[in-house]
Amino acid sequence: MACRISVISRHISSPPLEHLDDLGIRVAPEVRSALSSGVGVVALESTIVSHGMPYPQNFHTAQEVESIVRANGAVPATIAILDGVPCIAWIGLSLAELERLAKLGTMVSKTARRDIPYVIARRGNGATTVSATMFFASKAGIKVFVTGGIGGVHRQGESTMDVSSDLTELGKTPVAVVCAGVKSILDIPRTLEYLETQGVTVVSYSTDEFPAFFTPNSGCKAPCRADSVEECADIIEASTKFGLSSGILIGVPIPAEHAAAAKNVESAIQSALHEAESRGIAGNSVTPFLLKRVNELTGGDSLAANIQLVKNNALVGAKIATALTTRLSRFTKSSCH
- Residues annotated as catalytic are 45, 183
In the Cβ-directed half-sphere of 54, how many Cα atoms lie within 13 Å? 10
Which residue in 329, 113, 109, 318 sits closest to 229, CA to CA?
Answer: 318
d(CA 13, CA 115): 29
5 DSSP assignment: T
Strand partners, 226: 205
H/E segment holding residue 177: strand 176-179
| CA 16 – CA 164 distance, rounded (Å) | 31
| Alpha-helical regions (H) of the chain | 6-9, 18-23, 29-37, 47-50, 57-71, 95-104, 116-121, 130-140, 157-160, 165-172, 188-197, 229-241, 262-278, 286-297, 301-334
